[in-house]
Every structure is written in C-alpha cells, then in structure tokens.
A = this chain, B = another copy of it.
Amino acid sequence: MTTIHEVAEAAGVSISTVSYALSGKRPISDKTRTRIEKAARDLGYEPDAGARMLAGRRTHIFALTEPLRADTHAPTHMAFVLATAVAARRRGYDILLLTDEQASDGMNRVAASNLVDAILVLDVAPDDERAAIARAVRTPTVFIGIPDDPDGLTCVDLDFEAAGHLAVDRLADAGHTRVTLLGQTEVSYRKSNFPRRLLHGVQTRALDHGIALRSETTGASSTDTAAVRSAAESALARGDRAFIVHAANDVHETLLTVLDEHGLRVGTDVSVVSAAASFDTSTLTVPLDTIPLVPQQSCDLAVDLAVRHLEGHRVPAQIHLIPPEYHIADSVSPRR
C-alpha cells in the first residue's frame, strides 16, 4: 500500500507538501507540484480513506436513504439512484446505501459515526419519519421530494403543481372543456406526496378555466390493464377528448391502444399530455406532449445544495422547486 510518505520521499519533499500539492489547498511551485504528481501517479498513490476521514473530518461519502417499498416503481427509482450517484461522483463523493429498516436507524448511525458528510433522502412519504431525524442530526440532509411538514428541511423537487397548471393550460388553449386525468395507483396518493400535488395543480387550474375535470386512479397493480381500459372507455363515453396522464409507461400504452381502437387520432381527434413521466415518452407508439420529470435535475440540485452546505455557504432550509418544462410533440389537437 502506497502512503503519502513514499510519495514524499520519491519526490524529495515533505509529506505536508505532498498533501497540499494534491489537495491544492495552498500554492505550490509548478515544478515541485508536477514532480509530486508524477511520483503519485507512478506509485499509484491514493490517500487512505480512513486516515483522510479522521484527519480531515470529511468522508467524501453521502448517504442515500431509500425505503424500497413494494409499491415503488422500480425503473423510476433506479433512475433517481443512478442520477444521484453520478451527480455525487462528479463532485467527488461516493454513495452509501441505506435501505428500509436502516432508513431511520441508519440515518442516526451514519450521522453519529461521522460515516458520511451529508444525507440525501429519496422516495419521501407524506408522513416521513426521516423528517424528524433530519431535524435532529447535525449531518446536513437534503430531501428529494417533499413531506407534509417540510419545516426546517431542505427539500428539492419538480414543481408538480406547476406541471399540473401547464398541462391544463395547454388543453384549455386548445379549446378543451372536458378533461380526464389518468393518475397514479390508488396507493401512491396515500404513500407519496407528488401525485397529490400534481392533482391539486390540475384541479385548481381546471377550476380557473371552467373545465370539467374527472380524475381516475389506475388500479392497485401497475399491470392492471383492465382498470386503465375501463377508465379510458368511460372517459370517452362521457365525451372527454382530452387526457392528462400521470402514470407509468404501460398506462400510456394502454390509453393509446384504447384510443386507436376507437379510431381516434391523437393530436387531431383527441389530445393527450403526459405529465411528470420519468421515462422516455418519445418511444411510445405515438409521441406525446410531455412535461417530463427529469431525475437528473432534482438529483443534481440536491447534491449541489449538499456540497454548498459543506463548503460553508448558507443553504436555506426551504423547498427548492424545479420549474417544469413543456415539450411539444403535437399530441394536443389545435383549437377547434
């Protein structure tokens, strides 16, 4: 194992010079620095993690708590984990995983043992118990998602309410007066927060526009095609020709299938907007207007806030909402 001493000796300098040269925390003459860097590279030197933690009081590790519940949508979840890992790594941090049981105990443990520099919270529930823990520990914590009581917490999330507004506005512009919202699964509206926020945004804006809104939750299981079909069928039966879809890939496909069966062409006879989808809607049978949920945006911001906090900048304990973007794919019928 190569130590800083060996690098120092090889470069003919003291260990402190090596440390400073490599961390850049104080000016080192160009020629000695390059000499040190060469020695370090040649010897394959990598600072010992434990020693660095102890002396530097910085671990370069972030904890990521994720209570993998049975009802979490795996692909979306994976996208968030990946985005977080990439963002963290880019700033020089590794990700330590804290799952379910450990989510709460784990937070306390890693905080008490100084195992991590900051904690990132994923898959936030309305009554999330991790909120209380975040307030108690002194390890900086950033929520990706928003609990019911975000008081004193630093939170990051897409502005789902604004996303709802955008979707309704667009449909209203196109002259629609009747809209169906094809939402998330039943359980999501209880166990999560964001579906409600989108729903609320849609509702208030529908009211503003005098739009008749009907919102349907998709069945218990995500593979429950029948529930989606019947929701779509009855929407069409009552004359709705505008849909906002806030659901997984397959729900979109099922809706498009039903519309096709009825001989309705998307963008002409009927309008469809996909709201807060975390998958690529351009691969759907019919490309849809989309207000995407980009995990990378939330995760980048969350990591950035954590890093800024660690660098001593003031990070307000408040909700940081990411403004939604509307991507056009001509799936909304022009004003009639």
Residues of A whose CB lies within 8 Å of any CB of B are: 1-2, 44-54, 57, 59, 61, 64, 68, 74-75, 77-78, 81-82, 85-86, 89, 94-102, 109-110, 112-115, 223, 249-250, 253
Contacts and interface: CB of A to CB of B under 8 A. Distances in A.
A43 B97 CA distance: 26
Contacts of A75: 74
A112 B50 CA distance: 12
A16 to B, nearest CB: 18
Contact of A96 (B53, B94, B99, B249): B94
A251 to B, nearest CB: 11
Contact of A114 (B1, B64, B96, B113): B1
Contact of A64 (B46, B77, B97): B97
A50 B61 contact: no
A113 B46 contact: yes
A98 B95 CA distance: 8
A245 to B, nearest CB: 16
Contacts of A47: 113
A48 B44 contact: no
B223 A46 contact: no
Contacts of A45: 112
